[in-house]
Homo-oligomer: A and B are copies of this chain.
Amino acid sequence: MSVCGRIRVLYGDTDQMGQAYYGNYLKWFETGRNEWFRQMGMSYRRIEEEGYYLPVIEVYCRYFKPAYYDDLLCIDTSASLPSPAKLKFTYRIYRENSGEIEDDKIAEGYTVHVFLNSNKRPTKPPVFLRDMVYKNERGDSL
């Protein structure tokens, strides 16, 4: 199961090539995972309030087609636990100007996160977070 975070491309997101600047996609990835947390029942804001930080240690993005000013984008997001100490989000970005998700992928990528406690020291993933990922994965197979 995946969750769709939505953003609209700002004028300030474009560059003089007339399309969205490559660096902005990482903010959009953040919108995707923020929405993922919210849909799984616990916003990332609350996760930090519970004393956990999930900094990014790795990011990858592949750009297939340009995103243009005023495009409405869906950042389709899912999560997995590739190792006991890491959380991975996978993102696929689609245009949905027409109100429907268009076939062509604009971009796809991932981020890898580690778990830190409130002292910014490595810590085990909290149980509630593992449960969120399992819930997300079970959703996939329904």
Contact = CB atoms under 8 A, between A and B. Distances in A.
Instruction: Work out how many copies of this chain go into the complex.
Output: 4
B11 A70 contact: no
B53 A17 contact: yes
A134 interface: no
A57 interface: yes
Contact of A45 (B12, B31, B55, B70): B70
Contact of A34 (B24, B70, B111): B70
A138 B26 CA distance: 34
Interface of A: 8, 10-12, 14-19, 21-24, 26-27, 30-31, 34, 43-45, 53, 55-63, 66, 69-70, 111, 120
